[in-house]
Structure 1
């Protein structure tokens, strides 16, 4: 699973055998969350959360928003269409 971004020690990954729509998994500190990217213009949206706190989720969404263009490009490189 390619790590496509690091956010304060959290790994943002795109699984090569995953499904559409474009989304990422954010993993770290015993937690995981899944965000729809809404490529190409966003905004990222929380789909699933396993143990991240509200403050962490706000920071993650901010980081995903800042890197949205690159994340969408990575998704497209791995999967083709969004």
Structure 2
């Protein structure tokens, strides 16, 4: 699974054999969250979380929004938009 970025102890990954719509998995020590990217304009939208509080994911959502173009390009390179 390609790690596209890292942020504050989280890995931002896209699974090569994953499904549409474009999304990323945010993996941390305490769990995982999945964000729809809503390419190309965004904003990223939390789909689900396992073990991570929604409150702790606020800064992650902001980070994803700031890096949206890079993340959408990463999805496109792996899966095509």
**Relative to structure 1, is the Cα distance of residues 70 and 38 closer, same or farther in structure 2, using a 3 angstrom cutoff?**
same
**2:55 corresponds to:** 55
Greater CA drift, 38-47 or 51-60: 51-60
Q: Which runs of no fewer than 5 residues in structure 1 stay unpaired?
A: none
Superposed displacement of residue 63, structure 1: 0.6
SS in structure 1 at match of 2:43? coil
Q: Aligned residue pairs: how many?
A: 81
Is there any run of 5+ residues in structure 2 with no aligned partner, and where?
none
Q: How does 1:33-52 map to 2 (within 5 A)?
A: 33-52=33-52
The Cα shift of 1:50 comes to 0.8
30-39 vs 51-60, which deviates more? 51-60
Q: Which residue of 1 aligns with 2:69?
A: 69
Normalization by structure 1: what TM-score?
0.94
